Structure 1
Amino acid sequence: MYKEGEIRLIALGLIRNGANQVFVSEGYDPVKQNTFYRAMGGGVDFGETSLEALKREFQEEIQAELQNIRYLGCLENLFTFNGKPGHEIIQLYECDFVDPKYYELQRQEFTEGERKKVAVWVDINRCKSGELRLVPEQFLDFV
């Protein structure tokens, strides 16, 4: 969870389904009243590498194992969510699901802390056109 005034280190996984879809979690900002999408993953714990965190987060959230994991780079994201400033350093990885069933899902519900969330496949072109909001914006450089 975010603590005000702190920079959070997170690991996110870019997973493609063919050339036109990416697997993302759906979020909603009640202050801005808009829906956004972000690659799945989460916070890196003390004593854990970002690669270990990536694998753990996918296991915890949707019970999925990852394979073909490749490091893409580091992104810095300054943002406002729910009216509060946030700052995160993102270690971004490209990867694949081990189990092919995840590529068939239309939506995957999961719990993050006490919040119920959903992950979906979205069309990359709808993100690039601005129809769907993918965050952080620099993420579009990798899809």
Structure 2
Amino acid sequence: MDILFKNDDFVFSYRVGGILIRNGKILLQRPKDDDYSIIGGHVAAMETSIETLKREFEEEIHTKIEVDNLLAIGEIYFPWGKRPCHQICLYYNVHLVNYDIPLDGVFHGYDGLDDKRIDLYFCWVPLEDLKNDVKVYPQELVPYILEPKKEIVHFVSKQI
């Protein structure tokens, strides 16, 4: 069971995301006709954040990763349908264990949420594009991807 609480007034979500950079490109996910986001998902009850991240990469793109270090903690506020959502997300740097996914371009995968299948596109995007016209959710994380700090950073993203 995901750590995802919903009531009539709000939604609370505990999520993790993996930042996978290779050859000057970052692997991002993109639902059809939406902005890019960091690959990851909701933490399940009694599952560590690292276990979740490994599981999500296996489920969504059928590959194994190793988790390197915690880069950032985000407090993110955004609309979830008609309700506000308060999300806590841990962002880790990760690397591939093997190279059984395309290492360039775009490929297809999927995720599930609320018993619905969500088709996703996974795209290798040049880091340079993050400075320009490519919008990545959450935007407040992008500077720390482009210029990582030695310490773990905390950011707040308010979209409501």
2:52 alignment partner, SS class:
helix
* Cα drift, residue 80 of structure 1: 3.1
TM-score w.r.t. structure 1 length?
0.83
Partner of 1:122: 125
Instruction: Work out whether residues 16 and 23 of structure 1, in 8 Å CA contact, stay in contact via their aligned partners in 2.
Output: yes
Q: Which runs of 5+ in 1 are unaligned?
A: 29-33
TM-score w.r.t. structure 2 length?
0.75
Partner of 2:61: 62
State, as a whole percentage, how many aligned pairs show the same letter: 23
Partner of 1:7: 12
Q: How does 1:98-117 map to 2 (within 5 A)?
A: 98-102=97-101, 104-113=103-112, 114-117=117-120
Q: Deviations over 1:47-104 (max 9, x none)?
A: 1111110011111111111125211121111123666533211111001111224352
Where do 4+ consecutive residues of structure 1 move more than 4 Å? 81-84
1:51 matches 2:40: no
Partner of 2:23: 18
Partner of 1:133: 135
Rg larger in structure: 2
Q: Which runs of 5+ in 2 are unaligned?
A: 146-160
Pairwise CA RMSD: 2.1
How many residue pairs were aligned? 136
